[in-house]
């Protein structure tokens, strides 16, 4: 659980920014999203394969354009 203490003389906005950054670093939001919807095992595997292909294609595009 993300926890931020407000420092003396610190504005609410800056404390809130620190809190949001901490939540993002701890991947709390992505974890909640992952558990909010049930995916059947076959669907999960299919999505994982598609994401891997997308990642590979992106890497290949970068290598081609960088050379």
State the pTM of this model: 0.48
Mean pLDDT of 43-50: 96
Listed in sequence order, the residues at least 6 apart from 15 whose beta carbon sits closer than 8 Å to its beta carbon are: 4, 6, 7
Mean pLDDT of 2-8: 90
Q: Say how many CA atoms lie within 13 Å of 24 toward its Cβ.
A: 6
The span from the CA of 11 to the CA of 23, in Å, is 19
pLDDT of residue 67: 64
């Amino acid at each position: 659980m993300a926890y931020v203490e407000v420092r003396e003389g610190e504005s609410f906005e800056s404390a809130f920014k620190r809190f949001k950054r901490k939540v993002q670093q701890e991947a709390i939001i992505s974890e909640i999203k992952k558990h909010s919807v049930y995916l059947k095992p076959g669907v999960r595997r299919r999505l994982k394969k598609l994401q891997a292909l997308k990642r590979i294609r992106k890497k290949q595009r970068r290598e081609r354009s960088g050379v």
